[in-house]
Chain A
């Protein structure tokens, strides 16, 4: 049941992504309205899918990385819809939805990966915090991408389609900063809890787990970006590059968690 619903939700996201990208090229209010509608439809199906999944599993759908990523996508789409309305950013979908879609496609083969012996209260908190962090960094990535594109347009002085669609540089820089400032504490505490729990469960914190190791790299990138911003006033292009680098590592991390053997999968 949840698998069917999930497939339908993903179909909704595919349509929404296509329309959102089309809206970048062809600024037609109708396309945007249809994209919003498809996004909302996908998200509602997604919500129902998660609820049925939870009922089927008899626990929150956070027990494995694919499940948790599904919830992360759910959060991302929710926040995307809110930001789009709140800040009048109709192009945001074109930058966020493809990423959300990629993540939801990765979650397609559903395999509960954590055995019952390893379950405990802390692991839920670890997963929950990490996924809020991931959701924030998806938006961080989208903001950085939009910043770089708009900056390019303004520097080259040849306004193209994107110049008219994208908001002001300051707005985008602030979006990048806020999502970084939001995502970082979640990621940090999520990682600490994960390490503590790993120590308790396996007796060692630093065993070879590709996801754990790579996530430390991602954390370091984001930490550097935040520190640079706070102390040296880094901003604009530089923070945008960090956001993209950080997200690349994060995506690699999750990919490793999904496809390589280790504690997460």
Chain B
């Protein structure tokens, strides 16, 4: 299958160039139709996101097709072709398959495991389908790429551990509390980031939500936005006793949550942990609070450290994902290869079987005295001869298709056995 992918991505091209080359949907339709109409490609799909512009195509002369496609693309966008061409990477056949699988599985993304890319690939596929530039090759390739992406997501943790501070805070909460539903949350200060973290907690079932702020009106506003309750700022200590998770983000120069205040309430909690998420700078929770038992206090630096660890963990998971992709590529090529050569194998068998049965019939017609045993022996012997003759060419065809060089062998077999044009 003369498949190739060519393009540029965040790995090799600066953002200025990527934005210049990014194409909107209408232009993309036009481009796909033009390319298909010109006859340069048999099948084509363009993936254009803010991190990559890639062309997946099936063409008889990949090099020419690639040049034609990108010249067209650059003309559309009114930019010079040369600097773009200099940056293009190209993968053919097996490597193109691997690339498609890796991109769809979010292994080639800037942030490994980010979930958007799969949707973007699906959109690009749907668009190419609607323009009728997807043929059997790209169809099998991308259907399989979606399946591989799904497998990678479910069997590895590349998309698991949070890479944003607010999600990392939620994950930490889930490592402290068995479940978040019914856990009460107190917001001290009404910043954007604490609102975001609170929203994530609410999505996981945290309830009720209390909001307190030096300016009461702001607290009211935020409480409304989160379907929570506003609490006067001077009742902070009381509110503290009633919650499990505290998110602080005031602009106060001094800590607003002191060790002794926490120490006072901790006994009454009878071992229920208390989790402080302190995203204020300077910090709102006194340093020594963290030394109390059952109190877990994460400031913004701690959260960033957790995010870094999460990213490293994703990286480790990515190794496992790459192994899955490797296996899937091999499986895909084997299957694809068989699909390609099977029609020829079938007609080859039919052809030889036709010759065999015809000859056996003629021979037996001339031997009216032959016993059933003799007839059977002749049938068996002729079948064995045919199978032995077929063995080598069929094996060769299968092997060549797996190696990606089946075309010339298919032609040869057709010629040699007179199977007619394929």
Contacts and interface: CB of A to CB of B under 8 A. Distances in A.
A168 B175 contact: yes
Given A159-B309, A235-B270, 17 more contacts: A27-B157, A27-B317, A154-B176, A154-B296, A159-B306, A159-B310, A159-B313, A163-B175, A163-B309, A168-B174, A168-B176, A169-B273, A170-B176, A173-B271, A174-B178, A235-B294, A236-B273
A173 B270 CA distance: 13
Contacts of B177: 168-170
B214 interface: no
B399 interface: no
Instruction: Specify which of B175, B293, B320 lies most central, judged by the most chain A CB atoms within 10 Å of its CB.
Output: B175
A157 B306 contact: yes
Interface of A: 27-29, 150, 154-155, 157-160, 163-164, 166-171, 173-174, 233-237
Contacts of A173: 271
Contacts of B298: 157
Contacts of A158: 305, 309
B320 to A, nearest CB: 7
B74 interface: no
Contacts of B157: 27, 164
B293 A236 contact: yes
A29 B305 CA distance: 27
7 contacts: A155-B290, A155-B296, A159-B309, A159-B313, A168-B174, A168-B178, A170-B178
Interface of B: 155, 157, 161, 172, 174-178, 270-271, 273, 290, 293-294, 296, 298, 302, 305-306, 309-310, 313, 317, 320
Interface core residue of A160, A164, A171, A234 (most chain B CB under 10 Å): A164
A235 B306 contact: no
* Residue of A28, A150, A159, A168 most packed against chain B (CB within 10 A): A159
Contacts of B175: 150, 154, 163, 166-169
Nearest to B317: A27
A179 to B, nearest CB: 16
A235 B309 CA distance: 29
Contacts of A237: 293
A168 B177 CA distance: 6
A28 B161 contact: no
Contacts of A155: 290, 296
A160 B175 CA distance: 13
Contacts of A159: 306, 309-310, 313
Contact of A170 (B155, B273, B305, B310): B273
A29 B155 contact: yes
Contacts of B306: 157, 159
Contacts of A236: 271, 273, 293-294
Nearest to B295: A155
A229 B293 CA distance: 16
Given A29-B155, A169-B273, A171-B178, A157 B313 contact: no
